[in-house]
Amino acid sequence: MKMKMMLFVVAIIALATAANAEIINVNMYASSGAAANKVPQDATLLEGPAGGLGETWNQFNVTSGIGLLDSTGAATTVGFTNNVGSGWLRNGDLEMLKAERALFGKGGDTTHTINGLIPGDLYNVWIASSVSNDTDAEAGHGEWSTSNATTSASLQAISNFDLNTTTWEYGSNYVLFENVVADNNGEITFLGDATDADEIEPGSLATRLGLSGWQIETVIAPTNPSPDNGALIPSSNPLTLSWTNVDPNLADATDTYVQVLFGTDPENLSEQLTVPAVVSTVDVDASVEGTYYWRVDSYRNGNPATTVYTQPVEPNVLEGILWTFDTLADVPPTVAIDTPDQMTWSGEPVQLTAIVTDDGNSDVTISWTHDSVDPNIVVTIVDGDTAIPTVTIDKPDAGLATITLTVAVNDASSPTLIDTASVQIDVYDDACNMARAGQGLFGTYDRNFDCVTDLLDFAGMAEQWLVDYSATGPTDK
């Protein structure tokens, strides 16, 4: 079977410094072949899967760039690095597919990092790939993935056996990662994995993974949902939803209104209220156990009940992120250990503290256990059915023993849903052994190592008084 595959990468970077969330467009052009091929393309014709026709484009045929321009030509702090190989010229109806950088190692991996973003902010990223040859030996195929948090699938495939170069088609010549969270360094990293030999089917060839360009845009939407996205909470009516509204300056708004949508069907949410953006809470009915979805949309030019918003509504309407939470009539308890790992000596009690979180709708059971299987070690747990037990460990043998204590909690309504947490205790022979071996303490003049500097140490020093242990001559090594 003849297999023709293509990969195309386009990324749109939302300008971190722009007040109205401009897009950054980047085109990657050829770096191999004749000199006439290694020139930027006609920027007036460039258009990615997220648009950009007639906008400012950054063009590179190298593996890094800084100070990228946004779509209006304004400078930003956004940059990129990658380890993609060289590239070559090709033919294509879409201008961005006429040249690309490619990972020349068939079946290899490549890393593409966008930097200079705002840590914790959300971005939509478009990636597209293309290779220049339509023969089986030079086909393009593979997967793009990210380790950054995203509401999209973290791994997405490109498969284009027909080498579509005339229209943008998701999964054929581009992929889209939505609501990607920039990490603490202000970076979003993607891994390109070109398909290995025999990976598609026995006898299939290894492929390349090309990089034709990229675009990224800032997601402007309300943040900080409460309940937390994905939370499990008690059923209640009323339940207060809260959020942080979009910064009016960032939204480039004149009179922002928010509309809260809520329900159990993500495709059919009901309007709860539409109010000026100074409001950031609403009470809803979440009394029935189940999964609930909600979203806060922002209307930048006034009340949608009185202001006409034409289609397409962007950028006048900023659609919020779809949040979700689950409810139960009685949420199972959770537990965490508040006491750090401990060290003690044989027979010396240790006080432990656990923090149990519960909705109080049914009785909570707490139990502590240990992992010692040595019959000579005796572990005594006092108040083991509470969150603050006292543990005493007696061990007759010399040497260090490490015991793990585990607390388990559940409640009457869900006895099989058990949460646990553990803490370790190192047990030494005695207090002196713990001080020296465990804490690394020592006395400069404690010559007999009993953790006390006293007359015994002076007596030992007296026995050695004026003893000369200088070498008296050569000796064997």
Mean pLDDT (whole number) for 61-86: 90
Min mean pLDDT across 39-43, 66-70, 247-251, 470-474 is at 247-251
pLDDT single digits (tens) 326-343: 999 888 999 999 999 999
- Which is more confidently placed, 86 or 5? 86
Fold of 331-477: Immunoglobulin-like (2.60.40)
- At 109, the amino acid letter reads D
Q: Which of 321, 259, 260, 262 is nearest to 286 (CA)?
A: 262
* Contacts of 393-399 spanning 24+ positions with Cβ under 8 A: 393/344, 393/346, 393/347, 393/350, 393/425, 393/427, 394/346, 394/347, 395/346, 395/427, 395/429, 396/346, 398/429, 399/429
Superfamily of domain 223-328: Immunoglobulins (2.60.40.10)
Fold agreement (223-328, 331-477): yes
Tell me the residue type at 330: D
DSSP 8-state assignment for residue 97: G
d(C-alpha 414, C-alpha 333), whole Å? 9
pLDDT at 387 over 70: yes
pLDDT, average across residues 6-33? 55
Q: How far is CA 316 from CA 299, 311, 338, in A?
A: 6, 10, 48
Dihedral through CA 34, CA 36, CA 39, CA 40, nearest 10? -120
Residue pair 188/145 in contact by the 8 Å Cβ criterion = no
pTM of the predicted model over 0.85:
no
Q: What is the DSSP string of 250-262?
A: TTT-SB-EEEEEE
Domain boundaries, the chain: 12-218, 223-328, 331-477
